Amino acid sequence: MASTTRPRRKVRERREDVRNRVLSAATEMMADGTPYTELPVQRIAERADVARSTFYLHFPDKSRLLIALAEQAVEELFGEAVIWWRADHAGGQDGVAHAMRQMIAAYREHRRVLDALGEVAGYDPDVAAFWRDRKRRFDEVVRDRLDAERRAGTVDPAMDVPATAQVLIWMVERTIAGHCRHDEGPGDERIARTLARVIWLTVYGMPPSPPGVPREPAAP
């Protein structure tokens, strides 16, 4: 049994090594300034020190390579925000500001991959499906929390939960992407706190009361 398991483990390790080398090579080449769409498979394979045929054994096409690169990038982009949406919000805007800082940092670290993901998703159905699925998963987290808050009476009962979740996700993702393209870092804290305030007021702010009725804002 051991003699059978050991060769299988070695084969698996070799496959993982090749896969990691290809991913590292593509990442390094993009870090050098080459846009993902301009990376030829042959050059990626040469940088990874693998044969072109070996590349295709692991990645049938460049779309699958981009999806593999984007897996970690997207997880880190949404990870801290998911934690905040599922957490106790007793900390107020400070908690969401922390999540926004982490999202900005993740976007900066993986900017080239995330920019390529957004570009290629515009015309590649496989990449588009991957990106839609990851945003859908995040959307479900936001919707679940907003539904729970509405049932608890801590948000405006008239809130359109699906639309609110969609607007918040689009706003945050597009704002961070645009900010990171035009700001090298000095404005990160300002953007994080502004996003936090907008999110907090959108979720927990209440519409004005009718004239003569005291306004009692909801508190989570």
Mean pLDDT of 40-51: 95
Mean pLDDT of 173-196: 95
> Pick from 190, 189, 141: which is nearest to 168 by CA?
141
> Pick from 45, 19, 44: which is nearest to 30 by CA?
44
Give domain limits for the chain.
Answer: 1-59, 62-220
Six-digit token pair at 55?
């590349």
pLDDT digits (tens, 9 = 90+) for 80-117: 999 999 999 988 999 999 999 999 999 999 999 999 99
Mean pLDDT of 132-151: 97
pLDDT surpassing 90 at residue 68: yes
Percentage of the chain exceeding pLDDT 90: 83
Cα separations (Å) of 196 from 22, 84, 127, 153, 183? 38, 11, 30, 21, 19
pTM of structure:
0.85
Fold entry, domain 1-59: Arc Repressor Mutant, subunit A (1.10.10)
Fold entry, domain 62-220: Tetracycline Repressor; domain 2 (1.10.357)
pLDDT digits (tens, 9 = 90+) for 187-220: 999 999 999 999 999 999 866 555 554 545 444 4
